[in-house]
Structure formats: C-alpha cells, structure tokens
Amino acid sequence: MITVAPKPLAAEPAPPVPRRRGSLDQVLVDAAMDLFASYGYRGTSLSRIARAAGVTKGALYWHFSDKEEFFLAVVDKVLHEWGAIWPRDAATSAKEFNRAFLRAFENLAVLNAKNPWVSRLLLIITLESHKISPRVLRAMRRANLNALRDMRTMVENGKALGVFDPSLDVAWAGTQMFSCYLGHANMWYLHGPRFDLRRSLTRQAREFLSLWSIKKVKGATNGATSE
C-alpha cells in the first residue's frame, strides 16, 4: 500500500503591522488638510492635492488609496491636536480645576490661531454632511462625540471637586461649551483679528464658571430662604 506523506501545515501569516506615516505622508496630509478646509470635501480632488504637495497624482496611490483615506488621515490629525487641549489628568483641587478650565478655553483659541483649518473643517463638513460618504460622515460624528466627551468629563470633574452645582446637567453643559466655542470660532473666521477669539473664549469660560458655580447656587438658595 502506498501512503502519501502528510503535507506540512503552512505557517499562519503574521498579522499586518500598522504602517507608520512617513515624512512624505505628513506633507500630503498637510496639503490635503488645507485644501479640505478651503474647498470642502467635494471641492477637493486628488489632482488638487497632488499639485499642492508637488507630486504626481500617481504617486499619491503609493500612500493613500483614495480621497476618503486622505480625509480620514486628516480627521485623525485633527483629533490628535484637539485631544491635546483637554487635560488627561483630572484636577485634584478646586483651584487647580479653575485654572485647567480656563486654560482649556485659551488653548482652543491658540489652536485656531496656529491651525485655523481645524474648526473651519468641522464647519464645512457639517454643511456638506448630505453630500459626503457614510464612512467619512461616521468619522466626523465620532470626532464630534469625542469632543463632547472631553468637555463633559471636565464638567464631571468640576462637580466632583465641589466647583459646580451637583444638580448641573453634565450632557447639557458639555453641549453648551461645544456650541459656544463653535459660535465664537465662526465670528473669528468672519471678522478676523477684529474679533479677539482668545479674549472672548476666556470670558466665556469665566461666565460658565460663574453660572454653574455651587457658590452661586447656594447664595441664591439662601437669598430665597431669607425672603
């Protein structure tokens, strides 16, 4: 009887190693970011990105498969810079929290002055949400929710430290922070240096601290009781 020797089992392929973005990738992402912010998602083409980056259109495909992948890389960079604004370590005292809260709003102004396309990009994509692909729209919604989460986490920390009123609605407070920021940023884009974004955001932060303050709530309660 002839027997067939069993074939050796093929080794399982190693999982793909995530590719790190090289220097040319970053040049392409920066070029795409400026164009997306200037012309919107629909108005930005791969040919336009190639011209802005000083490469051929064919060379783009060695780095990114399509415009969606370009845009998702831009979103990833925006999220990284946005996330750096919010303190990763929670404050441990009321005084420390107040400083961190004001600094977060000041950093928003600094980020816009340094990279004015960040909020502009968010505003443009919001207006074009009915035109873009579901994949890109999901990425933008995720970016929005991440920003709201960071703001709400800060409000929670303020409540835990006794800075904010315990009955403060965290979700609504975070929404107020985010929408006020976008409103100020929009004014800055429209009016330029005549609208002092840093001063306006700092004042807004101080008003939030005053409006949501547990001391203010206690004072109002005591006043109502004395009457």
- 119: confidence class by pLDDT, cuts 50, 70, 90: low
- The CB density around residue 57, as the number of other CB atoms within 10 Å, is 13
Quote the pLDDT of residue 97: 95
What is the rounded distance in angstroms from the CA atom of residue 200 to the CA atom of residue 186?
12
27-36, 146-155, 203-212: which has the minimum mean pLDDT?
27-36
- Percent of the chain at pLDDT above 70? 77
* CA count, 13 A, side-chain hemisphere, 7: 3
Contact 155, 173 (CB under 8 A): yes
Instruction: Provide the residue ranges of all domains of the chain, joining segments of one domain with +.
Output: 68-214
Q: How many CB atoms lie within 10 A of CB 201?
A: 24
Q: How many CB atoms lie within 10 A of CB 223?
A: 9
Q: What is the structure's pLDDT at 137? A: 79
Using the predicted structure, report yes or no on whether residue 7 has a pLDDT greater than 70.
no
pTM: 0.70
Average pLDDT over the chain reads: 79
Domain 68-214 has CATH 3.40.190.80: no
**Which residue type occupies 140?**
M
